[in-house]
A = this chain, B = another copy of it.
């Protein structure tokens, strides 16, 4: 009863057993653990958590971004984000400047120290990603990206696609 794989719009038919799908689900579970393992290790030494990593990543990605913007990318409440942001500002990793045109807004930037941590974290994560990409090969990478994109919610995919590189080239 789970095998109703009706063909769609002339596309090649894919027969997907529950077992295949479950294997995919479990692969996602275990892989995500690996994906976060290296940054987690670095962060725990500095008594930060994954939430700090995410904030740092996206501030690096889009310097000058506002709290609100970060909020919609991260998908958490502003109170949750604020706690993380506060510690990062207190510790001198993030700079929070009152907006020039709209004083309600805060524009967020990494300090030198923040940028250094960002580099350490993303180096570790990229190393693993690079190793995985190389082990799997270029065709696999394309497929990997396609499946991941198809797995996102529509609004997440929009966020994802909207993330252009706004940093100056180093």
Give A contacts to B, CB under 8 Å: 8, 11-12, 14, 16, 18-19, 21-35, 37, 54, 61, 75, 122, 125-126, 128-153, 156-157, 159-160, 163, 165
B residues less than 8 Å from A35 (CB atoms): 25, 28, 151
A127 → chain B, closest Cβ, in Å? 9
B143 touching A141, Cβ below 8 Å: yes
Which of B37, B143, B151 interacts with A128 by CB under 8 Å?
Answer: B151
Which of B128, B134, B151 interacts with A31 by CB under 8 Å?
Answer: B151
Q: Does more than half of chain A's interface fall in helix, strand or loop, or is it mixed? A: helix
B138 touching A14, Cβ below 8 Å: yes
B residues less than 8 Å from A19 (CB atoms): 165
B residues less than 8 Å from A131 (CB atoms): 150
* Complex Cα–Cα for A126 and B143 (A): 19
B residues less than 8 Å from A11 (CB atoms): 134, 137
